[in-house]
């Protein structure tokens, strides 16, 4: 959720307490706490694994592979990406 991520970032970036940011966006603090304490979704977990695999492949290539080669290597490894 974009709003919750923005609210969370305001404290670290600008020192704005989440209670004030929640009030400004018209959301309850209980909603914010529910969001901040949740487990990552399956989609976010897959994206994180994919990010790590792309970084690994790029590093293994000596930082030379571009997106077409990385995509091909991902397909060969069984990933379903475009």
Give the pTM.
Answer: 0.61
- With the C-alpha atoms ordered 15, 3, 31, 50, is the resulting torsion angle positive or negative? negative
The alpha helices in 1-82, defined as continuous H runs, are: 2-14, 18-25, 29-36, 42-60, 67-76
**23-57 residue pLDDT tens:** 999 999 999 999 888 888 899 899 999 999 999 99
Mean of per-residue pLDDT scores for the chain: 93
Of all residues in the chain, the percent with pLDDT exceeding 70 is: 99
Whether the CB-CB separation of 5 and 16 falls below 8 Å is answered with no
Question: Longest C-alpha distance within the chain, in Å?
Answer: 49
What's the pLDDT score for residue 15? 94
Backbone angles phi, psi at 59, to 5 degrees: -65, -40
Domain spans in the chain, listed from the N-terminal domain onward: 2-36, 42-76
């Amino acid at each position: 959720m974009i709003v919750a991520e923005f609210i969370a970032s305001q404290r670290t970036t600008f020192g704005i307490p989440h209670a004030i940011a929640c009030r400004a966006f018209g959301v309850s603090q209980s909603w914010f706490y529910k969001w901040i304490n949740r487990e990552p979704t399956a989609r976010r977990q897959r994206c994180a694994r994919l990010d790590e695999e792309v970084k690994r492949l790029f590093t293994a290539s000596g930082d030379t592979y571009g997106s077409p080669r990385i995509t091909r290597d991902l397909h060969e490894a069984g990933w379903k990406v475009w």
